[in-house]
Chains A and B, each alone.
Chain A
């Protein structure tokens, strides 16, 4: 009887302890980002540096380009998009497989660039007749 109680307690303990890590770590609630690099091997900096500093690189580049007119810098949002846009949808946004959106939705950081910038590679807009 004592043995049975011990087994029951152990089972209860196991059931009480196990669900939490299984639920959180198994990817049920928050899917891990899918980082698929469509054109690998050509980035302007190593992946570790890009992960940590890409926003700083873009921020300083955008000011130099717009305010001083310096073109052709290594860091550029359009250059990012040319390499990282999904081959299927042509965009860096749109779903969990798309390069920018994938990580940004995982870390819950709002992505404001594309309120103005075009997320699709080689996109050609049409004009409207006046």
Chain B
């Protein structure tokens, strides 16, 4: 305990605790913010050599009422983490790892912004249609593309109701070592699977300055995300499709 604490997250939690004891913490909604901090690490990193467990289902809860207009921090963090940096000749070829969309209520002009990405469905249409078995769902609910078998047919892109997948159109040389990606394969949000397996949270969740995103295990009733879903109204986008998405939204 005498060694200086080098983990900035712990220092932040300590500072937040000090803020509660002292003054100035009332500026942010206390209960909700603390829950967001508590979810900064998922359960401990899975030990080396063990497979993803079907008892876990990773999910995201996005509070659209907190999502700040014009803020792109989650997109920037995603692109840095996953090495999405290619310059494309045509904007229609842009990657769809994560994007922000704006909802406008035409009757009163009320605008809502929210980040949209792969919704990690329990019954993913992209997996149903894949002719090679490259599109797959891991035991813990994360939907991925196995680029070793993807032939780039883009059938999954057509099947996805959320326009969450994209094809890499140009040769790449600047991938991150933990996030391989290349020309001719379809890709989408991986829920930062390489970070989740290390016990970290996805880059977008970590970067959100508003604390609008919570990551956690939907199957664990004691997790922050499960508690919030049990206590406030949240929705799945296009819930009529009955795909049981792992990404849920609050306030839309």
Check if A and B associate: yes
Interface residues of A (CB under 8 A from B): 62-64, 66-73, 78, 81, 115-118, 120-130
Contact across chains for A116 and B146 when beta carbons are under 8 A apart: no
Any chain A CB within 8 A of the CB of B104?
no
A-B contact pairs, 25 of them (CB 8 A): A63-B148, A66-B148, A68-B138, A69-B46, A70-B51, A73-B49, A78-B177, A78-B178, A81-B177, A115-B182, A116-B147, A117-B177, A118-B176, A122-B177, A125-B179, A127-B76, A127-B81, A127-B83, A127-B85, A128-B79, A128-B85, A129-B76, A130-B76, A130-B79, A130-B99
Contact across chains for A71 and B197 when beta carbons are under 8 A apart: yes
Residues of B within 8 A of A67 (CB): 136, 138, 146
Contact across chains for A73 and B48 when beta carbons are under 8 A apart: yes
Residues of B within 8 A of A62 (CB): 148
Contact across chains for B51 and A68 when beta carbons are under 8 A apart: yes
Count of B interface residues, CB-CB < 8 Å: 47
Any chain A CB within 8 A of the CB of B235?
no
**Seed contacts A115-B182, A128-B87; 10 additional CB < 8 Å A-B pairs:** A68-B51, A69-B138, A70-B51, A116-B181, A126-B85, A127-B82, A127-B84, A127-B85, A128-B85, A130-B99
Contact across chains for A115 and B85 when beta carbons are under 8 A apart: no
A126 CB contact (under 8 Å) in B52, B80, B171, B182:
B80
Query: When chains A and B are docked, how far (Å) is the Cα of A79 from the Cα of B33?
Result: 39
Interface string of B135-147 (1 = CB under 8 A from A): 0101110001011
Interface string of B167-182 (1 = CB under 8 A from A): 0000110111111111
Any chain A CB within 8 A of the CB of B231?
no
Interface string of B13-51 (1 = CB under 8 A from A): 000000000000000000000000000000000111111
Given A125-B174, A126-B174, A130-B72, are A69 and B139 neighbors across the interface (CB < 8 Å)? yes
Closest 8 A-B residue pairs measured CB to CB? A72-B48, A69-B52, A125-B83, A127-B80, A127-B79, A116-B182, A68-B51, A128-B85
A70 CB contact (under 8 Å) in B49, B76, B140:
B49
Contact across chains for A69 and B183 when beta carbons are under 8 A apart: no
Q: Which residue of B lies closest to A66 (CB)?
A: B146
Residues of B within 8 A of A126 (CB): 80, 83, 85, 174
Any chain A CB within 8 A of the CB of B210?
no
Query: When chains A and B are docked, how far (Å) is the Cα of A121 from the Cα of B99?
Result: 30
Give min CB distance, B173 to chain A, whole Å. Answer: 8
Q: Which residue of A lies closest to B196 (CB)?
A: A69
Query: When chains A and B are docked, how far (Å) is the Cα of A126 from the Cα of B84?
Result: 8
Any chain A CB within 8 A of the CB of B193?
yes
Contact across chains for A118 and B51 when beta carbons are under 8 A apart: no
Query: When chains A and B are docked, how far (Å) is the Cα of A123 from the Cα of B177?
Result: 7
Give min CB distance, B55 to chain A, whole Å. Answer: 13
Q: Which residue of A lies closest to B177 (CB)?
A: A118
Contact across chains for A69 and B197 when beta carbons are under 8 A apart: yes
Give min CB distance, B24 to chain A, whole Å. Answer: 32
Give min CB distance, B139 to chain A, whole Å. Answer: 7
B48 CB contact (under 8 Å) in A71, A116, A121:
A71
Residues of B within 8 A of A129 (CB): 72, 76, 79
B143-192 residues at the A interface, CB under 8 angstroms: 144, 146-148, 171-172, 174-185
